[in-house]
Each structure stands twice: as C-alpha cells, then as structure tokens.
Chains A and B, each alone.
Chain A
Amino acid sequence: MSQTYRLASGGRIDRSKVLNFTFNGKTYQGYAGDSLAAALLANGVDIVGRSFKYSRPRGIIAAGTEEPNAILQIGSSEATQIPNVRATQQALYAGLVATSTNGWPNVNNDVMGILGKVGGSMMPPGFYYKTFMYPKSFWMTYEKYIRKAAGLGRAPLQNDPDSYDYMNQHCDVLIVGAGPAGLAAALAAARSGARVILADEQEEFGGSLLDSRETLDGKPAAEWVSSIVKELESLPEVTLLPRATVNGYHDHNFLTIHERLTDHLGDRAPIGQVRHRVHRVRAGRVVLAAGAHERPLVYGNNDVPGNMLAGAVSTYVRRYGVAPGRKLVLSTNNDHAYRAALDWHDAGLQVVAIADARHNPRGSLVEEARAKGIRILTSSAVVEAKGSKHVTGARVAAIDVQAHKVTSPGETLECDLIATSGGYSPIVHLASHLGGRPVWREDILGFVPGDAPQKRVCVGGIHGIYALGDVIADGFEGGVRAATEAGFKATAGTLPKTVARKEEATVALFQVPHDKGTKGPKQFVDQQNDVTAAGIELATREGFESVEHVKRYTALGFGTDQGKLGNINGLAIAARSIGITIPEMGTTMFRPNYTPVTFGAVAGRHCGHLFEPVRFTALHGWHVKNGAEFEDVGQWKRPWYFPKAGEDIHAAVARECKAVRDSVGLLDASTLGKIDIQGPDAREFLNRIYSNAWTKLDVGKARYGLMCKEDGMVFDDGVTACVGDNHFYMTTTTGGAARVLQWLELYHQTEWPEMKVYFTSVTDHWATMTLSGPNSRKLLSALTDDIDLDKDAFPFMTWKEGTVGGVPARVFRISFTGELSYEVNVQANYAMGVLEKIIEAGKQYNLTPYGTETMHVLRAEKGFIIVGQDTDGSMNPDDLNMSWCVGRNKPFSWIGLRGMNREDCLRDNRKQLVGLKPVDPTQWLPEGAQLVFDPKQPIPMDMVGHVTSSYAANSLGYSFAMGVVKGGLKRMGERVFSPQADGSVIEAEIVSSVFFDPKGERQNV
C-alpha cells in the first residue's frame, strides 16, 4: 500500500500530480511539492542509512539543510550521479532514483552491523590518530576500508552531460534568507529602488512561514508570503533567487551563491538550460536573515529512526501533509516546540505526552496544549528511546537539570515518534566565515554573530529574535537600514498584524541525564560523524580541552555537517565536563561552504574546450589542412611537426631538418612576441634593458639581445631591429611576450619615467613566415619585385620593406637555423594569401613546412639557446658562454650588470653551457639527466650538471645534446657520465655547443 503515512488533506503539495521514484531499488509514489524526505516518510521508509562508525540504522531527523542522516546518492544514470544530496533539500521529481550512501551493502540488513558493534568499541574517539596511524604503512589498507564504510557517496564515472556556469552580480543589498525577516528586509530595501538580491535555499520563499500555525493580518502566513513575493517580482531592480544557497561570505562583501536551477526537474537539465549557477556577488550591504536551527536534546538512543526535531514534525505535517508516525511524544525545554504537538493534534493524530524540562510552564502555547487535553509531564524529559530499527517507546523520567540527574524511575510510554527540541541555535555560519567569533547570549541560550567590520546587518532569528511580529519588524528595519546606508531613501511601511503570545524562558538543557550515566545507551551529539556525549567526555578526560582539539579528536561537526545540529550540544557537554561555561569554551571556526557544492558548479564553464583560452595564428587553418601535429606553447597551438603518411615524429623531424639544410623550409613564427617601440629615448632604453649595446645599431639593421633580471640571470632573448632612428621593432620569446612588455612598462613607469619612449604590443598584428635554407633567396625572389635580395644589398642581420606576394611586408634577414633565412612579416589579415603564394612558388624547391621540433633541433645544432629550456633562471650570460652579448662599457648602468658581477657569479666552477656528444653516437641523453665526472663513486654521487636539450634525430647523423657542467667551458674534450635509472651509464664528451657550421658560413651567404 502506498503512502500510508500521508495525511488525508493539507500541505503545499499537488495531490493531482503523482510522481514515481525509487529508493534503494524499490519504487514509491509521492506528490509534486514533496521533498524526497517527505515522500520517503509518507511511504513509511524509516531507515535511510547506516551510521559510519557504529553502523546503526538511521532515519530522517530534520526537514532542511541541517539533516545529518538522509544524505543520499541521486541519479538514474552513471553520468548523472550526485553524491551527498540531503533528501530534505531535494525536491521530488518523476523518475528520481535515490540510494543510501551509508550502509554498504544494505541499510536494512547490514553486514557491518555485526562488525560495527565490535568496531564501535574498537573505534573510540581519536581512533584514527591512535590506531590507524600505526603502523604507518597500514594506513593505505585502513583508508580503503574506512572510506567505503564511511559512505561518502561516489562520483560519476562518466562525464556530466549538464552545463554549469557562473554569473557575476553586483547589488546594493543582498538578503540572505527569505523567511519572515528576509522577506520584510527585501521589501523595505527594494521599495527604495536599490538593486536587491534575495536568495533562499528552499524550493520556495517563505522559510518558517510555509508551515507556520501563525496568521498575519488574520490570514494564513503563506498568503502574506505570496503577496510580498508578487510585489518583489514587479520591481525591476530586484533579483529573486530561490533554490540558491548563500554558501560563502568572503572579504569586501563578496559572497558566493549556489543556485540549483533544474535539480527539481530531473537528474538532467532540460536541453538548453543550465543546471547549477554560482552567483559571485559583490554587495554594497548584506542583510543576514539566515534564521535559526532547532537544537535536539541529547538522550539515550536518540538516533533510532523515529526520533525527530519538533519543528521538522510540524513541517512534515503542515507543509507536506505527511505524518512521520502515529503516536507522538514530545520532549522539550521551551514553548516554541509545543507547536509540533498542537499541529499533530490538529491533524487528528495522537499526542501521547509532552515532557517539559521546566517546573511549571505556563506560556500561551503550553496552555493551549493543556486546554486540548494533552498530557504534560513537567520537570521531565525523554531519557531514552526504545526500539532498535524504529522507535517503539519513550522512557520519560523526572530530571534535575541543575544536578544533571534523573530523579525518578519514570515510565515507558508507547509511541512511534519522539519529537525533540532543546531550543534554537542561530545560523551564524556566514556571519563567522570572515573570522568574527560568535557571542554567547545566555538569555536565548545561543551564539549570535559578534561584531564584524563587514557592511552587514543581522535580522530575525540569526540574532535571537524569534517572535514572529518582532522578526518581521526587525527585518523591515534592517532592510531600511541597509538601503539607507547604500545611499537610497527608504520609506516606512505597514507591517502585518500578528497574534501576541505570552512566552516563557527556555531552560538550559542540552544533554539529558541518564540514570546509568555513560554506561547507559548511546547519546548522540553529531549523528553524521557518530559522535556521542560519552565520546566528548572521553576527549576532555584525555586532556583535549580546547574546542578545536575536541572537534578534531571526536570529529564533531566535521565534513558536510558543519556542526549544524550538534555544535552547541557538543560545546555544552565539553564545557560541563571540564567545568567551564559555554562562552568560555567558545566555538570552532566556520568556513565556506555552508552546504556541499557540486564540482560542476565549482568548475562552471571552465571545462572541456573552454578550460583555457587557446591562441591560434592567422595561418592555423593551413597547418590543420596540412596534417600538422600541434604543441602547446603557453596558450598557443604551434605546429610541432608535419608528418607524412606513415611517418612518426622522428622520421618527420629528420625529413624536415634535411629539407631545411638542403633546400628550404617554412616555419610559422607568428607567435613570437613583437613590440613596437617609439620615442627619442628608445635606443637608450634598449641599452638599459638588454645586456648588450644598442647605441650603434643603424637604421635598417637588426641585433640579437639578451635580457637579464636584476640578479644578472637571463630571462628573455630575441632580435630587435632599428626601423627608424627613434623606432625599434623588438621580438621576444613566445612565452615571454606579455612578461617582457610588462617588464618594459614597469621599468619605464617606476625607474625611468623621464625617458621619452612608448611600447605597444604588435604580436597579433604581424604574421611571421620564416623561409630558411640555401634556396630561400631564390624562392623569395619569385615573390617580390621591389626588394633587392642581393647578398650585399640585403646582408645578414638587416631588414627591408617591400611587397611579398603583393602584400606590403617587412622582411628580416635573421636566422635561428644557421641557414640563409628570411622572416617575412605581413599584416595578419593578409597572411594566408601570402602563405598560399609562397607554397605555390616553393614547389620547385621542395619547400617543406616544419614545426617547433625541427626548429629546436636545427637551432641546437647551431648552439642557439632557448630561454626556459637551456636556462632556468640561474644562468647569467657568462654561464651560457655568451659574454659576447654583454656590453660592459655602456655609459649608463643596465639591468643585470651589478647582479652578474656578484662574487658568486664570478666563480669559475659555475655550471656552464656546453655541447655534449655521446661517445656512442646512437645513444640519446635524456633531457634533465644528471651528469657526474666519476660514475663509480658511491651514491649519493657528486652531481656536476645536467642535460638541457638533446636530439637523436637531426641533420648531423649522430646524437648530440647541450647541457650545463661545472666549469665546463674549461673542460673541452673531457668526459662526463650520466648514470641512468636502469643502471646503465651514458658517456659523453664535452664539446663546443656549436655542432654545425661553426664559422657561420651558411647564414652569411
């Protein structure tokens, strides 16, 4: 029979819409408007999981975010699995599939139950620290077992099909929580014209008003809620975010909101819709209207299914039309909780008794219950629940709160539901995220937010105001204040009339005494982490007196729970056990996030092809069409090599190298950083930025330069050309482009602002095609009729302006291969047209496109460095054997001069860049391999350097490498050894790093 615990009427559910769902493989029915928890309770499902340490059956305790037990795995397919969903927060939809995450392998008949009973005593608090840490090597084994048993849920094994994103929001007033206080605050702020965001984690706005017995202006409170929401919806500057949890409160009023846009519709978002959205909000003022959580009393067996918060009982009865039992016993220390008994009674269900810890309660709600004939036992409490898989009774006894003693044997009342209320704990999490410690208020027996520097206002339950009329007035006033402080003019408003009630003080009862003390049945404080009152007492006996130590020793408030239900009770028990007050005990830190956030929402759109920007050159389409393999260089995609059919990288690179050396090759060099520098002081600026001299570089000429940081270490290099007396065209490494431009601006703006010079990036403006090889001149001559390519008219390290393939170009005769080379620069929009003409004209010369791999090989054959590969930030020009590139006699100082003349930089046994030639020409030295002089010395060996670049396939016919060796420049002809992980040793000769054409005859033709 379905929905046996559904009441005949009532609730904000749509009984005409029946929804099927499954839980642990069994199909049930619920109604639209149900939470998953409500639907489970309607069907009498009482065990939703097993506790992770003791493997005790656990049921639903709460109706909201504070639920510690009903944490389920949701998802009907592998790709849509979501772990750690609270059934109390999940709206029911047709086809929902839920399973227990705790209670492997089965919640009702748990193998671990037996283990658990043994394990329970084996697993006292501090268990992890005491046991599993020793022996250390066993941790891996234990961890597997604990993780599985702890039921953390599981991540999907397939890609999530849904879309998650971020939205950046700016507002004058952000209101957290849309209960009575938040709605009133929103109304006041919104009417002022301020930009208002109202966020609430529930399915609909209203908070406690959705299940309240209270009336507003004589009408059900929910009607007031809809009228306010309607007005807010009509205001253009108001953003309403239901199903949106404000999860983090960060510096400068930056808050993050996790909005679940389609979780209530299915486990897959409708096509075209975003599933979750993280709102990143910068708020002028924040109104915290988060409310309060009801606190359970801590008594024996309080975790047996059928124990529930009093307020949750009201919620299930009034909001969902579900009775989570038949016969109720209420245990309370306050007036508010009487509502649960009254709601239960009004629904035609049996209230067996109310146990009130106070001597002589006479508040309005108490009298109302008395008038209805409900039995009230004063100075009493439920000391112990009866039953194992479900509550079968409650032992109620007289207690002495002050002495913490049971004063009568009491009686066992037959019942199947125990409602409990130990007062209310303001939800201070967000208010405390930035470090503000909450302050204890004895009058309300709760912590409220302390002072904080943030521009924020607290309204309603979060600072201990609970009576509905006061809450609404406080909310409205807070909204006015926030809007006014944000610079808006707020107007007065009429507030709805509430029923005045006499309410009496709550008595300070947290842990209910038991006649057997800690030898009695377990009294749970934190059910999610299986922390008992006895465990906390044990922790304090073992000397853990700081609240943070008690927390870590017992796991109180760990993980997704964040101490929502157990925190205050745990503190109270620890404080009593140590003999101090609760404020002396203090609270632990609160940290974002308030509730778990899915990884999808954290990633947003920054995944898949949008994970990182990918940069392309103007010629990329050609590379793709011609079968290039690509390499990531910074954010750029650069052609790595162009394999022909059947070629691997080695074959392709060998072919490309040969083509360049024999005829002509083509490289897309567009990614090199390019900076246009203009101004009368441009030349002197270069003198100070580069290590070499620029004073005498004539217009029309180009020069290689090294840049050092202040410490004298090389950080970038490139060729810079003088294109006009006051005009230079600088190139940088691909990866260093942005860094170098910032470096120039930094020095100009901070050190030498008097210099007249400007810098502008032209990296993207110019596309650069390098023609390299002995036939490059012949090829280029077919493409230009206005550039004199004669070797004397256009010598090495000069540039010319003219047209190439009919497009205006700057052509630079510079070489990174050691061959005759021309770098053709054209405005990028026209580059593809020029490339096509070059390819066409190049056919007769076997023009071969090559990528970065061949470029690396060819430059290494010439001993040209790559900054970042052959250098690592600890090498100065001398170390690189590039003293020729240091202008020691420049009139003004320059960056790196002092650094490279430090004593340490002048040592003669510094690691210096040399060529390395394996004695066996077929052996390849792995890049990064360490070098030693004596391979027979005992380990640890004295390492004298390492390999920086190494190439087996090249145009030389033998394997070669570059590397750094201590004092290497004076060790030409000596041997170094590279011991390998497999025990073999590669022997190499130290040689000049210039392997090919040492006199530079090929580039100077």
Chain B
Amino acid sequence: MSAINVFQQNPGAEAKAQSPLHHADLASLVGKGRKNAGVTLREKKFLGHLTLRGDGHDPAFAAGVHKALGLELPVALTVVANNEMSLQWMGPDEWLLIVPGGQEFAVEQKLRAALEGLHIQVVNVSGGQSLLELRGPNVREVLMKSTSYDVHPNNFPVGKAVGTVFAKSQLVIRRTAEDTWELVIRRSFADYWWLWLQDASAEYGLSIEA
C-alpha cells in the first residue's frame, strides 16, 4: 500500500445522489417566488470539493499547483477561477478547490503527481459541502442581516472570499460578480442555512433557480 490512500469515491452519474438541500426540493419551488425578487437562490450541487494544504511560501508548491490546475495560488481572502474550476485561499496553508462533479478524483491524482515529494494534504470533501449562489439587488442586505463582516463593495470587491460568522454558525462567503455571491456551506448545516436565508430574504422576495 502507498503512503496515502486515494480512491475513487464517486460511483458515477448513475448512482442515486442527494445533495445537502435535497429535502427542500428546490426544483419544485422554481418560478414560485415573487416576480422581480430581490434575491435569487440556486444550489450548485454535486461539485467536486477538495481541500488542499501545503506551504504557500514554497515556490515548488505554487508551481506544482499551477502545473496541475493552470491557476496561480490565490492570495489571502481571494478566490481565483478558470472556467469551471475555482481555487480559494482558506488560510495561510489551506485552499479550497472546487471542480466539476466527478472530476475530483482525477484532479486529486493530478495534484498529487505535480506535488510529488512535497508535504501536502489533499482531501476530498465533496460529500460534506455545497455551494449556494445568491444573486440580486438585495443580497447585500441579506448578508448584512447574517454576518458582522463588512460586505460593502469597498471592503468586499468581486473576487474576495472570507470564512466568517453567519447567523449562529460559520460559512464561507465569496463574491463572484457584481450582484452574485456564493456561500460554501457544510452539509449538516444546510437546512439551517436554507431556513435562515428564506427568512432573511422574505421582505425582499426570494426566487429559486434550478
């Protein structure tokens, strides 16, 4: 056996799969919200999520990551993206890589090959978290109700990403476009976030997208 156990955990597209918000049956809510809703929510489900840890100060690490992903290591509090792939700084030695669903095993192998000999960790966390995309003119107000972090554009430009307190728990907030934000949520908290976001956006109107 090798030093690290890496294995294909994804059974493929045929297997029955349930996202963290499966029980909310978001598909059935599409088109039922207020017209011109201030907030539009979409679950970006079944993506490949990998936690990457390593020494960001080591040029060999940055070069290896770039070789494997074609992405520069993002600096503190930012997220970089390349087509369907995004890489986010999570801490001084930690990054979150999100890839299209089903690619996580291949990408992990590619990363491990490119970083051979370095002390790193790659962990598949795809089952444990999900992305919620929030779009619309009132997303900022919903975020202001939820987090004490300053989400004003002066302090939170497009491309910024922070892990922070949100209501009574924590999650990651990413700003991906002018009026588009993403929340990286943990599976077990998904229902809490779903209830919280419905409540916080009620006064602005919430619509759901598949």
Contact = CB atoms under 8 A, between A and B. Distances in A.
* Chain A partners chain B: yes
B18 interface: yes
Interface stretch (B59-67, B76-84, B172-180, B197-205): B197-205
A166 B143 CA distance: 11
Interface residues on B, range: 35 or more
Contact of A170 (B7, B124, B155, B190): B155
B196 A618 contact: no
Given A167-B145, A618-B18, A806-B11, A758 B121 contact: yes
Contacts of A609: 195
B109 interface: no
A621 interface: yes
A76 to B, nearest CB: 23
Nearest to A613: B192
User: Could you say which of B15, B144, B149, B191 has the most chain A C-beta atoms within 10 Å of its C-beta?
Assistant: B15
B150 A282 contact: yes
Interface in A384-424: none
Contact of B51 (A273, A723, A724, A760): A760
Interface string A485-516: 00000000000000000000000000000000
Contacts of B53: 758, 760
Interface residues of A, number: 62
A827 B127 contact: yes
Interface in A592-648: 605-606, 609-610, 612-618, 620-621, 636
A832 interface: yes
B200 A605 contact: yes
A808 B10 contact: yes
Contacts of A725: 1-4
Interface in B11-59: 11, 15-20, 22-23, 46, 51, 53
B121 A724 contact: no
B181 to A, nearest CB: 15
A765 interface: yes
A765 B127 contact: yes
Interface string A136-177: 000000000000000000000000000101111110000000
Interface string B129-164: 100000000000100110111101011000000000
A724 B123 CA distance: 13
A195 B144 CA distance: 15
A273 B16 CA distance: 41
A833 B7 contact: no
A808 B147 contact: no
A700 B1 contact: yes
B118 to A, nearest CB: 10
A274 B203 contact: yes
Contacts of B16: 830, 832-833, 836
Contacts of A167: 141, 144-145
Contact of B2 (A724, A758, A833): A724
B169 interface: yes
A613 B167 contact: yes
A829 B148 contact: no
A270 B177 CA distance: 33
A699 B152 contact: no
B48 to A, nearest CB: 11
A765 B199 contact: no
Contacts of B129: 764-765
For chain B, what secondary structure do more than half of its interface residues adopt (helix, strand, loop), or is it mixed?
Answer: loop
B182 to A, nearest CB: 18
A868 interface: no
A726 B192 contact: no
User: Could you say which of B9, B20, B203 has the most chain A C-beta atoms within 10 Å of its C-beta?
Assistant: B9
Contacts of A807: 11, 15
User: Could you say which of A282, A678, A726 has the most chain B C-beta atoms within 10 Å of its C-beta?
Assistant: A678
Contacts of A761: 128
A515 B10 CA distance: 95
A767 B188 CA distance: 11
B188 A168 contact: no
User: Could you say which of B15, B17, B120, B128 has the most chain A C-beta atoms within 10 Å of its C-beta?
Assistant: B128
B188 A829 contact: no
Contacts of A758: 53, 93, 119-121
Interface of B: 1-5, 7-11, 15-20, 22-23, 46, 51, 53, 93, 119-121, 123-129, 141, 144-145, 147-150, 152, 154-155, 167-169, 186-192, 195-196, 199-200, 202-203
| Across the A-B interface, the 4 shortest Cβ-Cβ residue pairs | A764-B128, A833-B16, A765-B128, A828-B127
25 contacts: A165-B145, A168-B149, A170-B150, A170-B155, A272-B202, A280-B148, A610-B196, A616-B191, A618-B18, A618-B187, A636-B188, A678-B4, A680-B119, A699-B1, A725-B2, A725-B3, A756-B119, A765-B124, A765-B129, A808-B9, A808-B11, A826-B9, A829-B18, A831-B18, A833-B15
Given A764-B125, A827-B127, 4 more contacts: A168-B148, A765-B126, A765-B129, A830-B18
